[in-house]
């Protein structure tokens, strides 16, 4: 699926976002899930990891139903509130 996000939108989401989850080294290095917003207000999730001295983007997507009730909470998180 192509969410048609620009590099600038992705950079903004990473720089101004917050870490939702941290993933331990699973053989490919540690990575984190960051939730942020583009300047337009579009929510963006970015999974990226650190490799040597640089970051590597693993995946990028716009969160939404059925897995996410809002950009910061998944469906299972919402059920526990």
Is there a domain that residue 15 lies in? yes
Looking at the domain assignment, is residue 2 inside a domain? no
Q: What is the CA radius of gyration of the chain?
A: 13
For residue 46, give its domain range: 7-79
Residue 50 is predicted with a pLDDT of 78
Tell me, what's the pLDDT at 13? Answer: 92
Contact 3, 62 (CB under 8 A): yes
Instruction: Provide the domain count of the chain.
Output: 1
In whole angstroms, what is the distance from residue 41 CA to residue 65 CA? 17
Domain membership of residue 1 (yes or no) is no
User: What is the pTM for the complete model shown?
Assistant: 0.78
Burial level of 79, CB count in 10 A (0-12/13-18/19+)? exposed
- What is the rounded average pLDDT of the residues 52-76? 77
Give the pLDDT confidence score for residue 27 in this predicted structure.
72
Note the pLDDT of residue 45.
Answer: 92
């Amino acid at each position: 699926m192509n969410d048609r996000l620009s590099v600038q939108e992705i950079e903004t989401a990473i720089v101004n976002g917050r870490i939702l989850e941290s993933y331990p080294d699973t053989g490919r290095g540690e990575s984190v899930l960051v939730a942020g917003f583009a300047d337009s207000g579009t929510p963006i999730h970015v999974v990226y990891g650190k490799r040597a001295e640089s970051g590597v983007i693993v995946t990028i997507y716009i969160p939404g139903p059925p897995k996410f009730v809002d950009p910061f909470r998944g469906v299972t998180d919402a059920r526990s509130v």
